[in-house]
Chain A
Amino acid sequence: MSFRVHVRVMPRTGLLDPQGQAVEHALSALGFAEAGGVRIGRAIELEVAAASRGEAETRVRQMCDKLLANPVTEDYLLEVEES
Chain B
Amino acid sequence: MLNVAVVRFPGSNCDGDALRAAEQVGANAYFVWHRDTGLDGADIVLLPGGFSYGDYLRAGAIARFSPIMQAVQRHAAAGGPVLGICNGFQILCEAHLLPGALLRNAGLTFVSKPVDVVVEQTATAFTSAYEPGARLRLPVAHGDGRYVAAPDTLRLLEAEGRVVLRYVPSSEGSPFQPNPNGSANHIAGIANGLGNVVGIMPHPERAADSMLGAGDGLGFFTSMDAKVPSP
Residue-wise, chain B 141-155 has the 8 Å CB interface mask toward A (1 for contact) of 000001011100000
Asked if B106 and A68 sit within 8 Å, CB to CB, the answer is: no
Interface centre among A15, A18, A22, A72 (most CB of B within 10 A): A72
Does A28 sit within 8 A of B, measured CB to CB?
no
Q: Using a CB-CB cutoff of 8 Å, which residues 42-83 of chain A contact chain B?
A: 67-68, 70, 72-73
Chain A contacts for B103, CB-based, 8 A:
11, 15-16, 73
Interface size of B by CB at 8 A reads: 20
Q: In the complex, which of the residues B65, B101, B182 contacts A16, with contact meaning CB atoms closer than 8 Å?
A: B182
Q: Which DSSP category, helix, strand, loop or mixed, fits chain B's interface?
A: loop
Q: Is the CB of A70 within 8 A of B107?
A: no
Tell me whether B106 and A16 are in contact (CB under 8 A).
yes
Contacts of B107 in A (CB 8 A): 18
Given A16-B106, A19-B104, A70:B182 Cβ within 8 A = no
Report the Cα distance A68→B65, complex, angstroms.
12
**Per DSSP, are chain A's interface residues mostly helix, strand or loop, or mixed?**
mixed
Query: Would you give the 0/1 interface string for B76-104, flagging 1 where the beta carbon is closer than 8 Å to chain A?
Result: 00000000000000000110000111011
Question: CB within 8 A of A19: which of B57, B101, B108?
Answer: B108
* Residue numbers in B under 8 Å from A72 (CB-CB): 93, 99-101, 148-150
B94 and A70 contacting across the interface, CB-CB below 8 Å: yes
| Contacting residues, chain B, for A22 (C-beta < 8 A) | 108
B20 at the interface (CB under 8 A from A): no
Interface, chain B (partner A; CB < 8 A): 57-58, 61, 65, 93-94, 99-101, 103-108, 146, 148-150, 182
Cβ contacts A to B, 30 pairs, < 8 Å: A11-B103, A15-B103, A15-B148, A16-B103, A16-B106, A16-B146, A16-B182, A18-B104, A18-B105, A18-B106, A18-B107, A18-B108, A18-B182, A19-B108, A22-B108, A67-B61, A67-B65, A68-B57, A70-B58, A70-B61, A70-B94, A70-B101, A72-B93, A72-B99, A72-B101, A72-B148, A72-B149, A73-B101, A73-B103, A73-B148
